[in-house]
Amino acid sequence: MLDTAFFSNDLLPALNKGLLVSLALIIPAGTLGFAGGVLLGCARAFGPSWLRRTGDGYTALVRGVPLAVQLMLIYYALPKLGIFFPPYGAALTSFILCTAAYQSEYVRGALLSIRQGQIRAAQALGFSTWQTIAWIVIPQAARRALPGCGNEIIYLIKYSSLAYLVTCMELMGEGKVVASDTFRFTEVFLTVGLYYLLLVTLATFLLHWLEKRFHIPGFGTR
């Protein structure tokens, strides 16, 4: 029998509190991570050789190290060097750095997909290299990269659940506390899973709307 008192008095208030923290992580991390991914993708696609190598090295490093390890390094290891982050700051910083690395892969691929004829035409009209990138290449590439970047946002929603590892008590962290206190693991984590499913579903609808809104006519028509 469903224990409505447990849900209404204990579980849902705690999860709603954690949900607000999760959103406070996901929204800025997704926004700043995308902006960082665009800048990093431009550097890797069009920058000088040293900048390309630096960007490739950073991306390979971040993609090769598990996010949980990155969180631990930022929160527990950096204080040894005199750099301190609060739990929320450590989680947000880690998510931004990780998301930017993955987003840069989608952006770089989209940038390189733009036909060279457009770039040459812009340069023939007197555009500088960076004006061409900013006004001709990036607007098209951003829309082409949107499906892949949107997929990374979905991943961000799910791996935001790791923030509790550095004592940032988001949705998963609050659920873990309630489950540990009440030993009602089935009810708690089924409900936590439902919260994440709803977040992913809403994000999916929003991303599909954005894809249609910024669709390039003639590109990827189904």
- Residue 23 maps to which CATH number? 1.10.3720.10
Domain total in the chain: 1
Report how far residue 38's alpha carbon sits from residue 21's, in angstroms, rounded to the nearest whole number.
Answer: 26
Q: Assess if residue 86 is contained within a domain.
A: yes
The amino acid at 1: M
Q: Assess if residue 93 is contained within a domain.
A: yes
**CB distance 103 to 37 below 8 Å:** yes
Tell me, what's the pLDDT at 110? 83
Q: Which residues of 4-28 are buried (b: 16+ CB within 10 A; e: fewer)?
A: eeeeeebbeebbeebbebbebbbee
Report how far residue 26's alpha carbon sits from residue 45's, in angstroms, rounded to the nearest whole number.
Answer: 27
**CB distance 17 to 172 below 8 Å:** no
Q: Assess if residue 75 is contained within a domain.
A: yes
Q: Assess if residue 219 is contained within a domain.
A: no
Q: Assess if residue 14 is contained within a domain.
A: yes
Which domain does 208 fall in, by range? Answer: 4-213
Q: Assess if residue 197 is contained within a domain.
A: yes
Tell me, what's the pLDDT at 174? 95
Q: Would you state the structure tokens that stand for residue 90, as one six-digit string? A: 């450590």
Q: Assess if residue 221 is contained within a domain.
A: no
Tell me, what's the pLDDT at 10? 87
**Within 13 Å of residue 122, how many CA atoms lie on the same side as its CB?**
17
Tell me, what's the pLDDT at 114? 76
Tell me, what's the pLDDT at 218? 58
Tell me, what's the pLDDT at 165? 94
What phi and psi, each to the nearest 5 degrees, are found at residue 169? -85, 85
Tell me, what's the pLDDT at 217? 62
Tell me, what's the pLDDT at 150? 84
Tell me, what's the pLDDT at 2? 63
Q: Assess if residue 218 is contained within a domain.
A: no
Residue ranges of the chain with per-residue pLDDT less than 70: 1-2, 215-222
